[in-house]
Structure 1
Amino acid sequence: MPHPITHLVAWLRSLFTRPQHPSAGQRTTPTRPGPAPVSVWATPWPTPVPAHVLDRHRTVSGDDVSLVRPYVLRWEQEAERRRRAERRMALVLAEAGAPDVPSYSYAGNHFDAVSAA
């Protein structure tokens, strides 16, 4: 029995190369069927192109495209909403007689706690 690695290499080589046979140089092209018979019923009627397909193939001008991304606008709107809510809360607290800035109190000297760490 010949060496098994020789058989393995030959088998792998046959997987990645074309088979060599006498008609390897001769190639045939597939034949095309003849034209379909044309009749009144064979011609399709014109179908309108949907608007979303037309929009996809339309050239884009600078007026149609927003310069700012939607997530940036959303972030700015949320920030403005938070500022309005904060002003509203300050107004409600001012009417109630509360101070402008809430006062925080610490038990003892908080600087000692920071310097000890």
Structure 2
Amino acid sequence: MRRKYNKIPKLHIRKGDTVKVLSGNDKNKTGEVKRVNLKEGTAIVDGINMVTKHRKPDADNPNGSIVKLESPIRVSKLQVMVDGESTRIGRKLNENGKLQRFSKKTGDFINN
């Protein structure tokens, strides 16, 4: 019988990266990645995929409020921007023998 492994895939996007949205309502917009969820394959990007939340009244906010928040977006819809250009990402060994991300468009390593 074949075993099932709960392997979490490595993502091409990390916290702090500048990314471009490839599809959806926010297509061609750019923003900085605030948080990445590896298990779900999603990321929260600053100013992208905004949703409106209605907050109920509580002790801190007696009137309640309407708040706009960033919602997670699938990582497959995002592409990393390097030097103002969107590029695909690969991994190869650097001079120290460690795997490091690099831009497939220019071939340059990306600082982590």
TM norm. shorter chain > 0.5? no
Q: TM-score range by the shorter chain?
A: under 0.3
With normalisation by structure 1, the TM-score equals 0.18
- Structure 1 or 2, whichever has the larger Rg, is 1
With normalisation by structure 2, the TM-score equals 0.18
Which is strand-richer, 1 or 2? 2
Which is helix-richer, 1 or 2? 1
